[in-house]
Each structure stands twice: as structure tokens, then as C-alpha cells.
Amino acid sequence: DVKVTQSSRYLVKRTGEKVFLECVQDMDHENMFWYRQDPGLGLRLIYFSYDVKMKEKGDIPEGYSVSREKKERFSLILESASTNQTSMYLCASSLDPLAGRKNNEQFFGPGTRLTVL
Amino acid sequence: AQSVAQPEDQVNVAEGNPLTVKCTYSVSGNPYLFWYVQYPNRGLQFLLKYITGDNLVKGSYGFEAEFNKSQTSFHLKKPSALVSDSALYFCAVRDSGTYKYIFGTGTRLKVLA
């Protein structure tokens, strides 16, 4: 079974703190993604990575950065947490769809519910 | 630009009745379509996908979906709903030639006993 794990299920931080969310996948997937999920807005893409050290901005990258030093690990960083970053954060991974791989559905971690006070 | 619409925030259905959760999409190239389910306080689980081939796709837990190119729709269906099917359902699309998956806003399915 594909497994995507996230470092914390629940996290409470204070405004201005630097926050690290870690994601690890064990299926040798090329692509990894960070989303935030808010009621009524669905999933919105923050950043994605299609290879080690490669990253691209998604639809809402402001206030976030990412790091992918190893293939299995993709980190999301909130440089200075703000209350409007209170949300559920979901990590996902997939095989590279542009490499002709038909099984490119995404596999999701359990999510991290972040509260910024 | 890619987009996905799930026009219903919530769908209620009686146990044993057929269910449909609607999804329409817009892409510039060939669409790759997906359905996911989310149970409370959990991540999303993959249900089924359409890549190419038969328009009727069968997936996990007895769900199926029909790809309709002319109506740009990919509605999720199940012949007989179970109370345990109650969850949040997301439709997603990926345009050929891109890495990005676009998700709908989700439809909450409530199956009543």
C-alpha cells in the first residue's frame, strides 16, 4: 500500500512563528503536492514538486515556501505564520503523469490541522 | 484554464436508493478525471479515474462514473447507497500536458437510514 505520512495531525502555533510541515511518501513517486483545504473552497494547490530540488508555485503560494531535498520528503514552510493560515493542510504524491504513467492518481496523507493564534 | 464544478454542496439520499454526485469540468486538452472520498478528519482516498477507453468507469466500494465528453461531465454513481457512504466527495481534473490537478469544492453526501 502507498503510504503518505505527515508529521503532525494537529498543530497550534502563534502568529509570527516559523512553522514546518513534513510529508514523507514511501512509493518512490516523482511528484509531490501541498494543498490547503478550507470549507466551501475545496482543495487549493500551494506548491508542487516534480523532482528533487524542483518546485513550482501553485495557485496560492504567498506566505509559503517548500523544500524537497530527497525524493521521498516534501516540506512546507510558513515563514511567519498568520491567523489566515489556519487551515487543514494536505500532502499528496503521485507518479509522474508526463512520463506516460497512466496510474497517476494522487495519494494523500491524513492531513495536518494547523491553528494559528 | 482548467476548472471543475460540483454544483451541489450536499446530496441527501435514502439507504438503498441510487445516488448521483455531479461534476462538470473544463480543460483545453484531453481530460484526466478523478473522484476522491474524504471521511471525517482523514485525508482523501482515491475512488476511480477516467483516462481513456470506456466511458463507464468502475471503482472502489461499488461506485462508478460516466464520462460524457459532449456534456463535459463525470458524474459519480452508485446503484444502492449505504449509510457508510456518507462522506465528502471531490471531483478532480488534470489537463493532459500539465502536472496540476484541479479539485472541485466538494459535495457532502448524506445517506439516511
pLDDT digits (tens, 9 = 90+) for A21-62: 999 999 999 999 999 999 889 899 999 999 998 999 999 999
Shortest Cα distance, chain B CAs vs residue A98, angstroms = 6
Chain B interface includes A105 (CB < 8 A): yes
> In whole angstroms, how far apart are CA B50 and each of B66, B68, B70, B75?
9, 11, 15, 11
Residues on chain A touching B43 (C-beta within 8 angstroms): 4, 90, 108-111
Q: Which residues of A touch B90 (CB under 8 A)?
A: 42-43
Beta strands in A1-117 (DSSP E): 4-6, 10-13, 19-25, 31-38, 42-51, 54-57, 64-70, 73-78, 87-94, 107-108, 112-116
With cut-offs at 50, 70 and 90, classify the pLDDT of residue B1: confident
Nearest CA to B77 out of B93, B88, B61 is that of: B61
User: A39 CB contacts (<8 Å, ≥6 apart)?
Assistant: none
pLDDT tens, position by position, A72-104: 999 999 999 999 999 999 999 998 877 666 677
